[in-house]
Structure 1
Amino acid sequence: MIHLPANANILVMHAPISFRNGIDGTAAVARIVLKYEPMDGAYFVFRNKAGHSLRVLHFDGSGFWLATKRLSKGRFNPWPKGEGTIPCSTLLARELQILIWAGDWTRCGFPDAWRKIS
């Protein structure tokens, strides 16, 4: 189980990557393709070409975590799609939790995020 703080910065890459890469190769994709520094503490989410596996890369201050989930049946659908040349998009922690369980995060009814009105 991955515990995600509600205010986590989560970036999902739209295009699939090769899962033959380890931590260093996946961090290089985050740095070169997504143009984000992987050691800043964000969660980076990737999928493979077949769409049945996803990976989450995270730096916790002392080292990298690379979590992989492979579905025995089905695919991770829908996957976030980009607009134009933007290679990634952001997700909320609750949307990523549903995506990890192979649910349709676009059809879930969430209450509005609470914020203090001044």
Structure 2
Amino acid sequence: MYLQSDPVDFRKSMDGLVVLVEGELERDAYTGALFLLCNKAKDKLKLVHWDKTCFLLWYKRLEKQKFK
């Protein structure tokens, strides 16, 4: 599992997030690893994962709190 510590622009599509993983994190997105990304406000998370057939995207949004 990899965590991008810098905030990510959440307007990016799945393809944009994969480019970010491979460019900024310098990791192969097709390894099956989990890539956890957070927005600037720290109230949303996206997790990107390759499952050998397609990319999966999980999205979590907090209504009243922030991630630490």
TM-score (norm 1): 0.57
More strand by percentage = 2
Corresponding position: 1:17 with 2:2: no
Structure 1 segment 77-88 matched on structure 2, within 5 A: 77=68
Unaligned runs of 5+ in 1: 1-9, 78-118
Corresponding position: 1:54 with 2:45: yes
Corresponding position: 1:75 with 2:66: yes
Q: Which runs of 4+ in 1 moved over 2 A?
A: none
TM-score (norm 2): 0.98
State the AA in 1 paired with 2:4. M
- Percent of aligned pairs sharing the same letter: 32
CA distance in 2 between counterparts of 1:38 and 1:49 reads 22
Q: Which has the larger radius of gyration?
A: 1
1:22 Cα deviation (Å)?
1.0
Unaligned runs of 5+ in 2: none
CA distance in 2 between counterparts of 1:66 and 1:30 reads 13
- Root-mean-square deviation (CA), in Å? 0.4
Matched residue pairs, number?
Answer: 68
